[in-house]
Structure 1
Amino acid sequence: MYTYLIVDDEMIERKGIRMLLSRMNIRENILEASNGEEALEVFEKEKIDVLLTDINMPFMDGIELLSRIHEAYPGTETVIFSGYDEFSYAKKAISYGVFAYILKPVNPEEFEKVVGEINEKLAKSEREEKRKDESMEFLREHLLYLMVNGQSRSAMQEKTQMLLDMSFVRDFCRMVLLECANNYFEQVNSEQIEKMQSDLQMPFHYLNLNPQQSILFFSEEPDGGWEAFGRKLYRYIREMWDQECFLAVSGEITPDCELYDAFAQTEQLMERRFYHTGNHVFLPFQEEQSEVLVQIDAEILIRQIQQDIRMKDLESLREHFDQFCEKYEHQTIFSQIYIKFMFSNLLKEIYDNLERKDERELDREIDALYHSSNMAGVIQAVRMGIERLETVFRADGGVAKRREVEQIKQYIRENYSDSGMGVDQLAREVGMTPNYLSSIFKKNTGENLSRYLKSFRMERAREMLENTNEKIGIICEKCGFVNVSYFCQSFREFFGISPQKYRDQGE
């Protein structure tokens, strides 16, 4: 809907122009002024798309008005009405970018033709501006995706040069990693994101990483702090999107901070959801709180240690045993017998996995553990067992972990077209928890498992676009996507260009 301003010192003339607009079903957003000075006052208050003005008026004529509008409001389309068929008027009008010069009395057919052409020109300009904005938004998403995945700010600035203003990245103060199950982010659209910003009254940049993960980039601090805002965001997603989700809030992002470092921090925070089973929001300062009192369910942690032993993952075993010790070391609410019982079970688990088992030696060590006069002795007894395991693990060379990782890679190569494939399904294939699989995959490959899966699918899509004539919808399906729109969005974020344009460039 465009706004029209009719300027003429004769009321009957203004009514006549209004009537002609009405014949074109244009009845709203029509303003009036009786001379050039009044018209300028209207321009200061309203956004005017089309100016319809007479030439001869008191105080300020139409030619001077055009001069002022041309300088101050260059995007305005203008039409001149005049009873003078003089070249000097027409020449001045043309110099000020007038769209049409119509002689009085106004011919209705000529008027409708001119206004129709103006409306078509305005609509075309809007479409071009929208495409330009969309292209810039696609470029921003692509650059953010690259920076989150290892590219530096300086490299991106050099890549874009003058094409894109990178100041929006310098303004970021935090990022929030969101994680939902069931590939929910395939369904999220721009309307949902805009509504979330409006409802939460917090502007952010949205970046989708994969069907399970997205990032929100914030440029301002919320009232009440990030912990309260994180809970508010969690409730919003649960109530408005009907989804259970987890959130990890990064530490402060300074202008010198690389986005991939902030993202790595949120990934590490997100791994804590395995231990904090009732928590959905994770923040950096919770790490400090956990050093005072670790709230980890002992049975879950024991199962994790058992899995570390089975996978021969010495690094994780040490980490989880330290957390286990931290849970009990300074707690007076547990009896000595209970603590010694828990640690002796771990010691037995370790001995069960030694190549040379000596039941009598195990009995002696458990007996020494029970006779320990302090917690340090109890912990030391188990640490000695871990040291024996270390010899076995190092001799094995981590074969078990590499075998599981290669098994996952092979499964992805053979089944990447399965739209239901995600970290949860891959974890079931090798009998691990999703978090543990993600952890050992990253330790062995240096790459996040979800990112590896997306990269593999994107590369297969690129190869199909280059080497086949398959329709984009078919390629989308063959690469494990059920939503063509989401597939195109993911391709743009990954390669910085749409699938169709990528194919066209190669032809």
Structure 2
Amino acid sequence: MFQILIVDDEYIEREGIKRLIHKYKLPLSVLEAENGEEALEMLASHPVDIVLTDIKMPFMDGLTLCERARAQFPELKLIIFSAYGEFEYAQRAIHYQISSYLLKPIDVSDFQRAFHEVIALCHKDQEQEKEELFLELLHTAQASSTLSRKLDLIGINFSQMSVQLILIDYGSSVFDVEHDLLPEKLQSAISVPFDYMNLNGSQSLVCMRWDHTVRKEELESIGGMLKASIADAYNETFMLVISRLVNTGDELVPEFKLMENVLDYKFFFHESTVFYTDESQGQEEIASTIPKLMETLYWHLQVKDEFGLRQGVELFFKTIDGSGQHSAIYVKYMCTELAKKIWETAGKTDVHAFKSIVETIFGCKSLAELKGQIQTVLGLLDGDTDVHNPEFNKKVIKDIRKLIEDNYTSDISLQWIAEKVFLTQTYVSYLFKREVGQTFVKYITTIRMHKAAALLRETHLTIADISQQVGYMNTSYFCKTFKQYHGQSPAKFREGTN
């Protein structure tokens, strides 16, 4: 339900509008004012979404009201209704971003059209506000009272439901180049109420709302259907991370952080994969990734990507620990094969020394002990690659910054950058975040948003043209990203600089 303020000095006109609102069952509660001064007082003391105002009124006319209301309440939706002879006069109001004009006497079809359009805008704003609020809750711990209030605003009541998050990560930017097809596909895969939001050009988030205990089979079925739906919507490799059930607001931040940590391993899998933060879920699929993971470990060893290799070893032991589906002999055999590859890559030739390592591996009495032994063997590689050289790393970061600065107008990806600097995606991602202090995606978004702001201030290009000039083919996605970054839409930003 939204709130509308009807401003007209004639009682009969206000009553007529109210009757139409009631007749067509519009989701509006009504406030009234007789002139602009009274309307401004009402706006200051009541939450109002829409103002419908006449032009000619005593004390303060409708145009002055629109000017002052727009300055104080930028998100307000404004509708002017006026007599035919006043309509040219009303054209001045275009500067105040009027949502619609209605002529007196009001034509019913025009009335319905105007109000359906404005209410749709209100719904869109409401959803965006909910989305921004929810993303804030995921990234920032809140005081108990603040947390409870914000959860109420986005419609989550943990006394009546649990929520479950699904983080979707794609191989490249998909949302800024085409219409987002996924929400329609999700409808067929998810049988419970859910919210859907884009985090950036290559990631989206689903929040499912459960009013009953979720069975393991039910969740795994959803995971499989989601995988099929996303594959149908986009011709991209992707990774799904499905959270545990979240039963309290305090669990949101740590659970989402855990989901993001799982994404650190995405570069080790070259096919679309589903992971669960609850290790009791989806173990069959996790177990089946072990041979693929071993192949990837050998590849990182071959290209001398020690960072990627160490990350892969961490994931290997985490997966083994979680699956419980492999015998100790099998795990020790795989570790022996890996140790042999490391030994050969490090240029070691002492057969007796390697035999001692094998005996130690097979003598390990716990997974932790086995992991420690493999990490010891990995120490043979220390200093074997250029990436340990600080000067080399500085040059890489300098080259990456230059590549981004020269190509931010195009759809550049981490994979493209990695190929240009002759390193793996894994290491580029790690190094960039360590040296620059933010992820590659956040950095390029910052560059694009600063360039867009400069173009809005200094040129008369259309917003659609600016969107393309900073690398976004989808103008609506650009506008959404701009508002998230700068706190206001491109149009309002430009208006504020004039």
Q: TM-score, normalised by structure 1?
A: 0.61
Instruction: Determine the structure 2 residue equivalent to 1:366.
Output: 354
Instruction: Determine the structure 2 residue equivalent to 1:98.
Output: none
**Match for residue 329 of structure 2 among 329, 332, 345:** 332
- Relative distance call for 1:125 and 1:427 in structure 2 (3 A) is same
The answer on 1:424 being equivalent to 2:415 is: yes
**Match for residue 343 of structure 2 among 335, 344, 347:** 347
Instruction: Determine the structure 2 residue equivalent to 1:295.
Output: 290
Residues 269-292 of structure 1: CA deviation (Å, up to 9, x unaligned): 234444455562111134885999
Equivalent position SS for 2:432: helix
Alignment of 1:421-500 (within 5 A): 421-500=412-491
- Relative distance call for 1:425 and 1:344 in structure 2 (3 A) is same
Matched residue pairs, number?
386
Equivalent position SS for 2:224: helix
- Structure showing greater radius of gyration is 1
Aligned residues of 2:163 and 2:246 also touching (Cα < 8 A): yes
Residue 319 (structure 1) shift: 3.1
Equivalent position SS for 1:251: coil
- Relative distance call for 1:485 and 1:320 in structure 2 (3 A) is closer
The answer on 1:231 being equivalent to 2:224 is: yes
- For residues 335 and 152 of structure 1, the distance between their equivalents in structure 2, rounded to whole angstroms, comes to 42
Aligned residues of 1:173 and 1:220 also touching (Cα < 8 A): yes
Aligned residues of 2:198 and 2:205 also touching (Cα < 8 A): yes
- For residues 274 and 226 of structure 2, the distance between their equivalents in structure 1, rounded to whole angstroms, comes to 9
**Match for residue 128 of structure 1 among 92, 100, 118:** 118
Over aligned residue pairs, what C-alpha RMSD do you find? 4.6
- For residues 172 and 313 of structure 2, the distance between their equivalents in structure 1, rounded to whole angstroms, comes to 33
Q: Which amino acid in 2 is paired with 1:131?
A: L
Residue 366 (structure 1) shift: 2.7
Equivalent position SS for 1:246: strand
- Relative distance call for 1:373 and 1:238 in structure 2 (3 A) is closer
- Relative distance call for 1:155 and 1:124 in structure 2 (3 A) is farther
The answer on 1:410 being equivalent to 2:402 is: yes
Aligned residues of 1:305 and 1:317 also touching (Cα < 8 A): no
- Relative distance call for 1:443 and 1:375 in structure 2 (3 A) is farther
Gaps of 5+ in 1: 1-46, 51-112, 353-358
Residue 231 (structure 1) shift: 0.9
Residue 249 (structure 1) shift: 1.0
Alignment of 1:72-471 (within 5 A): 117-148=107-138, 150-153=139-142, 166-168=153-155, 173-186=163-176, 189=179, 193-194=183-184, 196-197=186-187, 200-220=190-210, 224-239=217-232, 244-257=237-250, 259-275=252-268, 280-286=273-279, 289=283, 295-297=290-292, 298-305=294-301, 310=305, 316=311, 319=314, 330-333=327-330, 340=336, 342-349=338-345, 351-352=346-347, 362=350, 365-369=353-357, 374-376=362-364, 383-387=375-379, 389-390=381-382, 400-401=392-393, 403-418=395-410, 420-471=411-462
- For residues 280 and 380 of structure 1, the distance between their equivalents in structure 2, rounded to whole angstroms, comes to 28
Aligned residues of 1:476 and 1:484 also touching (Cα < 8 A): yes
- For residues 277 and 196 of structure 1, the distance between their equivalents in structure 2, rounded to whole angstroms, comes to 23
Q: Which amino acid in 2 is paired with 1:332?
A: I
Q: Which amino acid in 2 is paired with 1:227?
A: E
Gaps of 5+ in 2: 1-21, 26-102
Q: TM-score, normalised by structure 2?
A: 0.62
Percentage identity across aligned positions?
19
Aligned residues of 2:418 and 2:428 also touching (Cα < 8 A): yes
- Relative distance call for 1:282 and 1:119 in structure 2 (3 A) is same
The answer on 1:49 being equivalent to 2:24 is: yes
Equivalent position SS for 2:246: coil
Equivalent position SS for 2:155: helix
Aligned residues of 1:370 and 1:378 also touching (Cα < 8 A): no
Equivalent position SS for 1:473: helix
Aligned residues of 2:223 and 2:274 also touching (Cα < 8 A): yes
- Relative distance call for 1:116 and 1:466 in structure 2 (3 A) is closer
- For residues 287 and 406 of structure 2, the distance between their equivalents in structure 1, rounded to whole angstroms, comes to 46
Residue 194 (structure 1) shift: 4.8
Aligned residues of 2:308 and 2:427 also touching (Cα < 8 A): no
Equivalent position SS for 1:332: helix
- For residues 317 and 335 of structure 1, the distance between their equivalents in structure 2, rounded to whole angstroms, comes to 16
Equivalent position SS for 1:216: strand
